[in-house]
Structure 1
């Protein structure tokens, strides 16, 4: 967000970690590589392409520093450049984990890499191939094309397997390899399990890091990044308007409300807000000093029984709403406010009941992708990702717009001071519009 950007000195190498598709092990490899380099005493910064909550939590656990989103559509090119330059000035290496396959999406991970001249490390699942891996990597390099830094071969079976892979790469360096992993980062329906829920997460990351075999000196193959002086001088972001001065925003934060962009928190603070946290799962009431409530997404569907029995939480959110104070609820936050929720075991739980209707979890993905919201202060960007559907008779106040085709996206519900939707907003894309969620509506 705001702050003076360093404009002189050397910049660390920046590399994109991408793959041919999802499922190749990008996050595992990026986390293992970040922890490996950190354990060698390197200062490592990591970014995640696209809209994501869980992968950045795992990557932050691995590298020891906050992991922010880096996406040309969500943030815009100037903001991406500023974040990269700042990270490269303060670290020894910067890793950007891509999203899906290298060329998937508009803009894609390849578009981001090419926008800044960043070389690509291709992660390839080698468990079902050998020499063909060379063809895969050549295709990844030449289709765009992109600048290819080298290959990280994942799930390698043996030294002989690795030798076959290396012989097929030709001029493309084999930078690193990982064997087939007996222990992996666990997953559930929205992605990886939250780091706080994984027993001995640091031991697992250290074990993965120890399995990283660097085939070449990564530091001699990656050149320092470069930013033009005139570009940097134009990148110092202006101070945000202090629209939330003297406002106290209470943010739900626990395993049911864990999907919170770090950049959203920073944005609120830079607009003057004081933040306090509470846990509905611990049956904590909204802090008395709160002027507004922020209910981020998460996994309320896994905690229906606990939320149903959390009477102090339920009483406080109902009273807060009755007082017509601002409540901003996105995705999982909205789920916690409906009349009833049918979870993944087909049990139905009565919840806060601020919105009439029923949420039903389903095995099929209901919505995924970038979306935007039109506001009186302009476009606010974000995304959606959920496996549930909301059946309600309550009128829809507005709709978001899907980025990929400009068609109708998620429903937006407004009731007294409540704003609720499946839409996850990225506040820095429009701070003024975001501040309005936490101010009384005149």
Structure 2
């Protein structure tokens, strides 16, 4: 028997990540096996969920990932866990598809987590509004929990404000240390690894769980008949070695992307540009995911072995796929938020500029000869290109915003677009020379 929960809120910043991590930690201390998932295209929150559960974390999205694949990922997780905890994104009803859509389609009960730090009885009104708004979607509700609670007296006010049909699930008391934030979200888990044990202990001490509400969660039964992940020709990338940049500057990579490349037959070799590792000489292709190169621009500019090896790969016509921050490192220079310029690889005749405002957000797709690659964009940076550099293709936004340019210079494919490789494995393989 496996139980599942979608932990949702009324907006971003309500404490969903903190609460999900606290609940996962508590369940594990009680001897339960826990697998976690994240709604929507997100790289940072899954890092914390992966650290606290000790297991891979996959993204779930009805459009980007697909309904059947979401069902299969949950079913696979259910074979290895007692609890499936799904952290929502933004507000419960935000986006098309939203977290509410996913919960309704996959039959996952919802637990609302609300920031009650500056709230008393209005807590009940907001929680009831979320529940009432979802009645026509046939959502199952577990109850409501509060975050940033001052103490027992405050908690009683919040609990008593709830209608009887919406159970009280407990609260997370205001505590330190907190999960610090920066412009793209939380500071990455890998940057806090030495402090995470203290964070988990603090969250566990702050978590006041209404265990009876949790025990009332019904067993999860998949309403869909999961279809096995579509098979792909394992020979597509057979015999090819792909070097994948992985460190604090190149950490925005879907777990599924690496799984997909491996299923296609590729051998993956990780390396760290921040450590001035050169691209491994046996690599037939290079994958530069996004991340935070702007925070490490000076160090990357001094990584002479890495930059030289990347230029060598480009000159040798080995495929290089650079996403978002990875593309910025391929520019001639990177201008950070303080206006300082740092020399980069120079594969693109452009200057990568770190802006102060969000420059692109949302789900996107890229139509290729092998099919449609789906994914998303979320960036503050921009590319100041110099003639004659022009886009080779444009992505299509799903709902709002403009298209994103895809540049192709020799063997380099670069864009602010983050592709979800499993949405069209053959198209992904083609980018790496398959």
TM-score range, shorter chain: over 0.9
Q: Residues of 2 paired with 1:428 and 1:19: CA distance?
A: 28
Q: Please show how residues 255-270 of structure 1 align to structure 2 within 5 Å.
A: 255-270=248-263
- Give 3-state SS (helix, strand or coil) of 2:154's partner: helix
Question: What's 1:241 paired with?
Answer: 233
Q: Residues of 2 paired with 1:227 and 1:262: CA distance?
A: 23
Instruction: Give the C-alpha shift of residue 218 in structure 1.
Output: 4.2
Question: What's 2:392 paired with?
Answer: 397
Any conservation in 2 of the 1:339–1:355 contact (CA below 8 Å)?
Answer: yes
- Aligned pair partner of 1:77 in 61, 67, 89: 67
Any conservation in 2 of the 1:36–1:206 contact (CA below 8 Å)?
Answer: no
Q: Does 1:60 align with 2:50?
A: yes
Any conservation in 2 of the 1:155–1:181 contact (CA below 8 Å)?
Answer: yes
- Unmatched segments (≥5 aa) in structure 1: 1-9
- Give 3-state SS (helix, strand or coil) of 2:211's partner: coil
Question: What's 2:6 paired with?
Answer: 16
Q: Residues of 2 paired with 1:261 and 1:48: CA distance?
A: 11
Compare 84-93 and 388-397 and name the one that shifted more: 84-93
Compare 137-146 and 321-330 and name the one that shifted more: 137-146
Question: What's 1:413 paired with?
Answer: 407
TM-score (norm: length of structure 1): 0.94
Q: Please show how residues 31-70 of structure 1 align to structure 2 within 5 Å.
A: 31-70=21-60
Question: What's 2:88 paired with?
Answer: 98
Question: What's 1:434 paired with?
Answer: 428
Q: Residues of 1 paired with 2:32 and 2:232: CA distance?
A: 33
Q: Residues of 2 paired with 1:150 and 1:312: CA distance?
A: 55
Q: Residues of 2 paired with 1:247 and 1:303: CA distance?
A: 30
Question: What's 2:381 paired with?
Answer: 388
Instruction: Give the C-alpha shift of residue 411 in structure 1.
Output: 0.4
Question: What's 1:112 paired with?
Answer: 102
Question: What's 1:327 paired with?
Answer: 320
Q: Residues of 2 paired with 1:40 and 1:211: CA distance?
A: 16
Instruction: Give the C-alpha shift of residue 61 in structure 1.
Output: 0.7
Q: Residues of 2 paired with 1:208 and 1:389: CA distance?
A: 37
- Unmatched segments (≥5 aa) in structure 2: none
Question: What's 1:220 paired with?
Answer: 215
Q: Residues of 2 paired with 1:218 and 1:336: CA distance?
A: 49
Q: Residues of 2 paired with 1:137 and 1:358: CA distance?
A: 47
- Give 3-state SS (helix, strand or coil) of 2:107's partner: coil
TM-score (norm: length of structure 2): 0.96
Q: Structure 1, residues 268-293: CA drift from partner, whole Å, max 9, x if none?
A: 00000001111111111111110000
Q: Please show how residues 291-370 of structure 1 align to structure 2 within 5 Å.
A: 291-370=284-363
Q: Structure 1, residues 299-321: CA drift from partner, whole Å, max 9, x if none?
A: 11111111111111111111110
Question: What's 1:275 paired with?
Answer: 268
Any conservation in 2 of the 1:338–1:357 contact (CA below 8 Å)?
Answer: yes
Question: What's 1:201 paired with?
Answer: 196
Q: Structure 1, residues 191-236: CA drift from partner, whole Å, max 9, x if none?
A: 11111211411221222122211123244210101136xx54x522
Any conservation in 1 of the 2:317–2:411 contact (CA below 8 Å)?
Answer: yes
